[in-house]
Amino acid sequence: MTPHPLRQAAALLSQARQVVVFTGAGMSAESGVPTFRDALTGLWRQFDAQALATPEAFRADPALVWGWYEWRRSTVRRVQPNAGHRAVAAIESRLPGTVVVTQNVDDLHERAGSPAPVHLHGSLFAPRCSACAHPAPVADGEEPPDGRRLPPPGCVRCAAPVRPGVVWFGEALPPDALQAAAEAAASCDLLVTVGTSGVVYPAAEIPQVAARLGATVVQVNPEETPLDRVADLNLRGPAARVLPALVD
C-alpha cells in the first residue's frame, strides 16, 4: 500500500542531502497577510494589482502606489509568522545548507528564524530613492491610511520621491538573488514549493529548473497550480498545517 503522501514527503525530507524551500504569498496567508491579488481594498479595489505594481503606476500617481505599499507594510508589521514559517526555519536548522527562496516581500520568514531568505522580489522594508537609489528609512509609528493616497517622502540626498524596495512588473529581479536561487535549485535534491500560483516569471522557473536537473519536487498548496506538472508529490493543504507535519 502506498504510504500517505505526508509520510512520503517527511521521509523525502529526512533523507534529503540539500533542500530548497520556495515560497509564495500563500505561505503568509494564514498569518493574515492578504495574498497579492486580495491585497486590494478601499481605494485600491478598483485597480488590478498587476497594474499597480509597476513603475508606470508609481510615475503616474506616486501617492496612490506609495499609500498601497505603506498600508501593506503596516499590515505585515501587525501580524505574526505562522506555524508554516516556523516549520521552514526548523528544516533549515536541521539541515544546514537549506536555502529558502521567497517571492514574498514581507519579513515573516526572518521573524520566524530563517537567517537569510533569498528575496526574489525585494522587500517592503527596504525603501529607496526612485532616482539615486539611496536607501530611505522605514517610517515607524503612525498607521498609514487604509485605502487612501499617501505622498512618498523625498530622498534626503536628491529630494526625488522614495519608492518601495520591491521588484515591479517589467523590472529585472536583483541579479544576485536570482543567481543564488538558480544555483540552489540546480544543486538541491529536494525542492519544496509552498503557496505559489507559479505564474510569475522568472521566479516560477526555479521549481522547474530543480525538476529538470533531477530534484524531487513536493508542492504544498490547497489548490491545483501550473506547478502540479513538475511536482512529484502534491500535498493539498494549507502551509501552516502541512509543513509542521513534515518536521514533527
- Which residues sit at the interface with Zn ion, rule CB under 5 A? 129, 131-132, 134, 155, 157-158, 160
Q: Which does 172 bind (CB under 5 to 8 A by kind): Zn ion, ligand BV8, none?
A: ligand BV8
Rounded to 5 degrees, what angle do the CA atoms 11, 15, 16 make?
115
Size of the site for ligand BV8 (CB under 6 A): 34
37 binds, among Zn ion, ligand BV8, none (CB under 5 to 8 A by kind): ligand BV8
222 marked ligand binding residue: yes
DSSP conformational letter for 97: T
Query: Active site includes 109?
Result: no
Beta bridge partners of 218: 192, 233
Q: Is 146 in the site for ligand BV8 (CB under 6 A)?
A: no
d(CA 151, CA 136) in angstroms, rounded, equals: 14
- Give every CB contact of residue 129 below 8 A, 6+ residues apart in sequence: 135, 136, 155, 157, 158, 160, 161, 162, 163
Which range of residues in 73-81, 150-158, 192-200, 228-236 is near ligand BV8 by CB under 6 A? 192-200
Q: Is 183 exposed, middle or buried (0-12, 13-18, 19+ CB in 10 A)?
A: middle
Q: Residue 157 or residue 236: which is nearer to Zn ion going by CB?
A: 157
Q: Does 231 bind ligand BV8 (CB under 6 A)?
A: no
Q: What is the DSSP letter of 54?
A: S
- Within residues 67-86, the interface with ligand BV8 by CB under 6 A covers none
Radius of gyration of the chain from its Cα atoms, rounded to whole angstroms: 18
Selecting among 85, 109, 119, 121, the annotated active-site residue is 121
The binder of ligand BV8 chosen from 11, 60, 156, 199 (CB under 6 A): 199
How far apart CA 173 and CA 184 sit, in angstroms, is 16
| Active site amino acids | 121
The residues that touch ligand BV8, with contacts defined as CB under 6 A, are 24-26, 29-30, 35-37, 50, 53, 103, 105, 121, 166-172, 194-197, 199-201, 220-223, 225, 238-239
